[in-house]
Amino acid sequence: MGILVLPLVVVLAWVFAAFGLSPFGGASGDQFAEEAMRWMLFLPAGIQFIVSGFMHTVFAKSTAEGIGWKTNGFQYELGFASWGLGIGGILAASRGWDTWLIMTVVASMFLVLAGVQHIVLMVRDKNFKPGNSLVLIYDFGLPASLIGLLIATHSSMA
């Protein structure tokens, strides 16, 4: 059930922020929403996307099986895009609101539309494998977190 790592990393980012741990790129005294945003960008939108990149390339066959796919070239492309998103997330964590906006839009569009695709596969193909169904927690949970934090930080950073 390695797929549960995805939502766990989102929860972990919230826990780190709740305990006031300084995130990558943060400064002591940052507002809670700013710390939480930096954690979201660094962990689930940064490190986790990089891990996803490895899963879709280096461990392509087992990852595909967990989703209910057959390994193919598009899976590798997904892995390569995930590496770019992960690097972008890590870089955005140490930047400001404008960069957070860009990363939130890119990651949220990618994840929400991936989530829609997973739902289509569930309905059309009756594919309820954990990699296709449980991933929805991450596909919609991370964008909800990023968008909510983006709104919360806008007034404090404007």
Task: Tell me the per-residue pLDDT of 107-137, one tens digit each, with 9 for 90 and over.
Answer: 999 999 999 999 999 999 999 998 889 999 9
At 2, is the pLDDT very low, low, confident or very high (cuts 50, 70, 90)? confident
At 68, is the pLDDT very low, low, confident or very high (cuts 50, 70, 90)? confident
Average pLDDT over residues 58-83: 90
d(CA 59, CA 33): 35
pLDDT for residue 156: 64
Residues 6+ apart with CB under 8 A from 58: none
